[in-house]
A and B are shown apart, each in its own frame.
Chain A
Amino acid sequence: MNRFFSRSPSGPLAAHAGRRVALIGLLACASLLGACGTTTRLDPAAPVEDKGSGARATAAAPGSGSGLNGANGLNGGTLSPLPESKVGTLDLGANKANADRSGRAASAKTVYFGYDSYVVRDQDRNVIEANASYLAGDRKRQLLIEGHTDERGGREYNLALGQKRADSVVRALVLLGAADSQLEAVSYGKERPAASGGDEAAFAKNRRAELKDR
């Protein structure tokens, strides 16, 4: 038993008059020592393990494992191999993004969209035609169509909206001679803006689909 909490209920803590205080004293005693045997509503906590002073470690309080995952230092008497607060880190590596995204300049092209729209406009017709012929020319060629949105609105909804833009470009390409199997539509939503600025000019540059070699 730890020297700080060795007082029995008849000690100084219970010097105040009243059964209620003595009862609380008992409850406090139980929560600390675990061995008093009184049921309590107190949160689980370790009885003191004062290894340094050579004091005897007390048994775990009843229910002290509830709500806690696995072995941990607060179960009383059990030392965990890792602190509870540890988080494993996964590093996905340095920035290779630039290398991956350069593509081949000749066929990397962009189609732009109006606000809240996923309709391919007439002004981008030549981009679609050029890439459709490119694909039709060799069935082994493949394109990745990445849809994007401007920064306004929710992330997941924008991911879905970007996907609709990419799909729209895929459909336009297929209509002009590409095969479905040569294409995959994906979305970055608002996660990869092409332009920053927060104004309409920037928004317009970000509402796009990029056609990239795979």
Chain B
Amino acid sequence: MTTRRVFSRQALALAGGLALPAARAQFRVEISGVGATQVPIAVLRLRDEERAPQAVSAIIRADLERSGLFKMVEPGAASLDETSRPNFSDWRGLASDALVAGSVTRLADGRFDVRYRLWDVVRGTELTAQALSVAREDLRLAAHRAADDIYQKLTGERGVFSTRIAYVSKTAGRHTLWVADADGENAQSAVAGPEPIISPAWSSNGRELAYVSFETRKAVVYVQDVLTSQRRAVASYKGSNSAPAWSPDGSQLVVTLTRDGLSQLYVIGRNGENLRRLTTSSGIDTEAAWSADGRTIYFVSDRGGGPQIYRVGLDGNNPERVTFAGNYNISPALSADGRYLAYITRLASNSFRLTLMELATGTITSLTDTTDDESPAFAPNSRLIIYASRANGRDVLMTTTLDGTIKARLGAPQADVREPTWGPYGR
């Protein structure tokens, strides 16, 4: 059974009297699926937030809803802020278990002061209260940090709303690597050019992006500083250089090189030094992905005929096959908690589907019913997967919970988006 709700800025504006400055891009969150247990929460519009360039409470609501663990309770005409003393029986009457209220104040120097308080309605107690003072450009970030705080207080787990993603868009012969908030909004261009860009990968401290660019008419691996856009080519050998994968400690990458003929895996330092071959097979070895503990490399190899996922230690000895169901399994991604492997399976009907394997048991679950899934990546809290898919003839970015029940389409406004990768905590 599916419930679909669409929140558009216009709808929220009508409900809460928000102003709609023309410069802001349309912002939509589409959720499908009903989770098993959802905490009902009322997130009120923050006092005076309509005077700020971002609708902070709407961002918080959308974040909580996309996680699949919360159900929004409409607050009606209530008007509270962080200094209020709510009448909890009113909120219990609305079947809300939690309540958030606050305010947004513009300071004289142009910065903004975002304040909120979270109450446990059932117990009538306060769970957290924060004040965040931010530059105008960081208002969305403040909203996401508030959502992370609320999420953590109510679920006991760390939120990922203030993390970032990177992805590629292709429009009219222009390829762009974007860095955006985890909700797909606030996208900024990191690299743009007429030649393809593929396989972006975040360093574990979130400061650099590795990617493959064809600007010199072949695939070359670059590492670029996200803040300054300074970059270096770390693999530019004969033939194609691709599929960069960072070690969890950020000191090395595994890349796919064809310098010795077939596509094989090599380890290099973060500046391209100390090249060392990792795999030797008579097939294609590519798409390396590190385990979170940095000791195992998962990768795709067609040494057995069709592409399957294998894993090997850093010494490269005795790779072990991991996928056996189906004849085409690619694009491995590992969760930070070490429990799961996500990948793409080609089904008999030539459709490509996001699949999850629980590593301890080998249990496999299909996570979608779409047919053009690509490029899965886990959120740093191991609770969500981002992936590219196709809907209504367009390439889109989606997130899903690990049980596949709650899916959200991200608001990335560019056409034909693909290759998403999820950045770490702490940006």
Q: Which A residues are within 8 Å of any B CB, using their own CB?
A: 2, 4-5, 12-13, 16, 20-21, 24-25, 28, 31-32, 42-43, 45-53, 67-69, 73-74, 76, 80, 82-97, 100, 144, 146, 152-157, 159-161, 163-164, 167, 184-189, 191-192
Contact = CB atoms under 8 A, between A and B. Distances in A.
Contact of A156 (B125, B132, B136, B287): B287
Contacts of A83: 134-138, 141
Contact of A192 (B181, B196, B242): B196
B426 A68 contact: yes
Contacts of B14: none
A95 B134 contact: no
Given A50-B107, A51-B108, A90-B191, A191 B127 contact: no
A155 B256 contact: no
B195 A73 contact: no
The size class of the interface chain B forms with chain A is 35 or more
Nearest to A87: B188
Contacts of B174: 95
A154 B199 CA distance: 11
Nearest to A46: B133
Contact of B240 (A47, A68, A90, A159): A159
A156 B126 contact: no
B297 to A, nearest CB: 14
Contacts, number: 235
A188 B131 CA distance: 50
A69 B346 contact: no
A156 B140 contact: no
Interface string B115-129: 101000000111111
Interface string B225-236: 111111100000
A52 B286 contact: no
Residues of B contacting A: mostly: mixed
B16 interface: no
B239 A185 contact: yes
Contacts of A156: 198-199, 242-243, 256, 286-287, 300, 330-331
Contacts of A48: 113, 115, 131, 133
Given A51-B109, A69-B426, 7 more contacts: A31-B129, A46-B131, A83-B137, A88-B226, A156-B287, A160-B262, A167-B258
Interface in B315-341: 328, 330-331
Contacts of A53: 108
Contacts of B27: none
16 contacts: A24-B127, A42-B128, A73-B134, A73-B138, A74-B132, A86-B227, A88-B190, A88-B228, A90-B191, A90-B231, A155-B375, A159-B240, A164-B284, A184-B238, A184-B239, A189-B198
Contacts of B284: 157, 160-161, 164
Contact of A96 (B190, B194, B238, B330): B194
